[in-house]
Chains A and B, each alone.
Chain A
Amino acid sequence: MTTHSGPPAAGVGVIHDIGYRHYQGPRLGRAAIIRALGWHSLRSAFGIGRGAKAKIIPVITFAIMCLPAVVNAIGMAQGGKQIVYYDTYVFQLRVFVMIIFVAAQAPELVSRDLRSHVLPLYFSRPLRRLDYPLAKLGAFILACLILLEIPLLLLYLGMISQAHGGGAIWDQTRALIPGLLVGLAWAVLLASLGLALASLSGRRAYATGSIAICFFLSWALAALLRGVTQTGGPGVAGAGARLSGLVSPFTVLDGLRQWLGGTSPTPLPPPGDLGPLYGVMFVLLLAAAAGGLAVRYRKAGVLQ
């Protein structure tokens, strides 16, 4: 402590010599500030601008996520069949990778600021209270989109490189678009849930743990319920099995996909006439997450 009492005096002298210059340049408005915060958050979701350690999980998850597309492309090049589909990609892999990515990176966006009590500094600037979670949510949805959609685009490139004729390319493109929309639904729901859970705790470990546990347990629970209620043979799913997917965001997303016409098979039985329930559940989960985030930031930060 005492070692610092010297330099300040010298520093003060320099202030006097150089003098203070007022800022005459342009000042950006609220929208530009929100964009700047979003960009900053997107970078931190991938550990850019942080140390090397912060990049480990984003890089690894991204690489794993791209692997099936690469494998598929190699298989196709050697004359094999398409093994990875746009609307499901590799369902279990996608679930696990997204659990890891969201659990590790959502706290990076919100818990750090809570932990170090930076929020009063944001809210004492021209931002409004809800601008902060809005920017964070937008950035994290975009981060999840990058993780979900770039592998799809790689898959598409791999497919069209083997496609012959305009008709085949058009078929691939037509298959890709629903796949991208499924990815969008995943990104929006998982990012919202992840940020809402992460914003509850300033401790990174707790935030990561709560996301991982919620996602993983609900996923395991859905599988358990499905196993318990699946009585008939394959393809003959009872109402219990068709309802089992409602307990986990991942199976909700898959039920939504199947209800909206996705045909690629996953462990979840097609919901059939219970499909609309999955649509409702998707909206409810999304509203709860976004609403929770808004309520959290309406209160948090300033009064500490």
Chain B
Amino acid sequence: MTTPVPLESGPPQAGPPPGGTGPGPGFVAAVIETSALTQRYPGAVTALDQLSVRVGPGITGLVGANGAGKSTLIKILLGLLTPTSGRVAVLGLDCARDGERIRARCGYMPEHDCLPPDVTATEFVTHLGRMSGLPPTAAKERAAESLRHVGLYEERYRQIGTYSTGMKQRVKLAQALVGDPQLLLLDEPTIGLDPAGRAAMLDLVSRIGTEFGISILVSSHLLGEIEQICDHLVVIDGGRLLRSDSMTSFTQVSQVLLIEVDEGTAELEAELAARGLRPRPQERALLVQIVSAETCDLVRDAVADLGLPLNRLEQRRRRVEELFRDDADPSAAEKEGAA
């Protein structure tokens, strides 16, 4: 069930989505489904290349480096871009035919700044509520409510130009929420925020996903932060699907021991290799795959025998970043871990 979705196209497996963490029991329909999706821009730029992926309910992270095709995928999902080839369905509707109906059920938070400075948050979100098809009174009520949900109270009567970056991000989220969408597409919601702002935004996204019952596709190039809140992760690189899996399967199987010594890193590396481990240097530290219960003992003994000043020894959960750093190794490591 947790095997990586293969790159080749073909109908995704039927049945409940991998991970099975959706909010509603019996809600098995895919929220997003693409098959062999390809998008080429003029000048032979391929933004998406034969992307086939299935996303279930819950919070899904869309991860990739800058230029991996995240924003392109989101725009196709909204029917704003017509893909070169391939099929896409969102909430069971075909993107090519039912763009309007999809957009009526989706909220979109763009990556870039998209707020006029000289109106108040209330006016702005109310207007966009109208643009989502809400009648005037309902738009006002929903605007007040969604601004409250994102944590803007009295500030909402101030002009947006006076807001901090964190408050602006909240307004962007509130306008996505105002139409009571079934699916939120959030493009880099934490961009430009300081650590505290990031944490607050991630917490908010997590609450919207779990308590409001709204499915979320959230893109980020910062894997470390997004993995905290997702049920499911889709990793794309260069427009291709690298992996699509539930969060637990990403982090469980690959445990890594990080060893940092003040000096003698090279000697330790040689010693560990001699003892049958396969240390990988990372900056000033060494990474060792935990293959058995004895691995930790082996490392401890090696450091003690060499008499090195041990600075740090920690069992790391594998970061998804390592998918990019070394394509071949993680899969090999997984097999070892599973064995």
Q: Verify if B91 is at the interface (C-beta below 8 Å from A).
A: no
Question: Nearest chain B CB to A207's CB is how many angstroms away?
Answer: 15
Taking a contact as CB atoms under 8 Å apart, the answer to whether A40 and B113 are in contact is no
Q: Verify if A8 is at the interface (C-beta below 8 Å from B).
A: yes
Of the stretches B7-15, B101-109, B223-231, B248-256, the one at the interface is B101-109
Q: Verify if B133 is at the interface (C-beta below 8 Å from A).
A: yes
Taking a contact as CB atoms under 8 Å apart, the answer to whether A116 and B134 are in contact is no
Question: Nearest chain B CB to A83's CB is how many angstroms away?
Answer: 42
Of the stretches A87-95, A122-130, A136-144, A230-238, the one at the interface is A122-130
Interface string of A268-303 (1 = CB under 8 A from B): 000000000000000000000000000000000011
Residue of B nearest to A128 (CB): B100
Taking a contact as CB atoms under 8 Å apart, the answer to whether B134 and A23 are in contact is yes
Residue of A nearest to B75 (CB): A302
Question: Bound state CA distance, A128 and B151, in angstroms?
Answer: 32
Taking a contact as CB atoms under 8 Å apart, the answer to whether A30 and B134 are in contact is no
- In the complex, which residues of chain A have a beta carbon less than 8 angstroms from the beta carbon of B133? 27-29, 32-33, 125-126
Question: Nearest chain B CB to A113's CB is how many angstroms away?
Answer: 8
- In the complex, which residues of chain B have a beta carbon less than 8 angstroms from the beta carbon of A50? 118-119
Residue of B nearest to A23 (CB): B180
Contact of B200 among A3, A12, A22 (CB under 8 A): A12
- In the complex, which residues of chain A have a beta carbon less than 8 angstroms from the beta carbon of B197? 1, 4-5, 8
Contact of A121 among B128, B142, B149, B165 (CB under 8 A): B128
Question: Nearest chain B CB to A217's CB is how many angstroms away?
Answer: 30
Residue of B nearest to A120 (CB): B110
Question: Bound state CA distance, A21 and B178, in angstroms?
Answer: 11
Interface size on B, residues (CB 8 A): 57
Question: Nearest chain B CB to A36's CB is how many angstroms away?
Answer: 4
Scoring B127, B131, B153 by chain A CB atoms within 10 A of each residue's CB, the highest score goes to B131
Residue of A nearest to B117 (CB): A116
Taking a contact as CB atoms under 8 Å apart, the answer to whether A33 and B130 are in contact is yes
Taking a contact as CB atoms under 8 Å apart, the answer to whether B81 and A302 are in contact is yes
Taking a contact as CB atoms under 8 Å apart, the answer to whether A121 and B207 are in contact is no
Question: Nearest chain A CB to B221's CB is how many angstroms away?
Answer: 18
Q: Verify if B321 is at the interface (C-beta below 8 Å from A).
A: no
Question: Bound state CA distance, A51 and B175, in angstroms?
Answer: 22
- In the complex, which residues of chain A have a beta carbon less than 8 angstroms from the beta carbon of B207? 12, 15-16
Question: Bound state CA distance, A230 and B72, in angstroms?
Answer: 60
Question: Nearest chain B CB to A55's CB is how many angstroms away?
Answer: 14
Taking a contact as CB atoms under 8 Å apart, the answer to whether A49 and B142 are in contact is no
Taking a contact as CB atoms under 8 Å apart, the answer to whether B148 and A49 are in contact is no
Residue of B nearest to A123 (CB): B80
- In the complex, which residues of chain B have a beta carbon less than 8 angstroms from the beta carbon of A18? 148
Q: Verify if B166 is at the interface (C-beta below 8 Å from A).
A: yes
- In the complex, which residues of chain A have a beta carbon less than 8 angstroms from the beta carbon of B262? none
Evaluate whether A27 and B104 lie within 8 angstroms (CB atoms) in the complex, with A1-B194, A118-B116, A120-B114 already known: yes
Residue of A nearest to B159 (CB): A51
18 other A-B residue contacts (CB within 8 Å) besides A8-B170, A18-B148, A126-B104: A1-B197, A4-B164, A5-B194, A8-B204, A11-B153, A15-B204, A15-B211, A23-B142, A25-B138, A28-B135, A33-B131, A50-B119, A116-B117, A118-B115, A123-B78, A124-B110, A125-B128, A128-B100
A residues adjacent to B (C-beta < 8 A): 1-5, 7-12, 14-16, 18-23, 25-30, 32-33, 36-37, 40, 49-51, 112-113, 115-118, 120-128, 302-304
Top 9 closest pairs, chain A to chain B, by CB: A11-B151, A5-B196, A23-B180, A124-B108, A8-B200, A20-B212, A116-B116, A27-B133, A36-B130
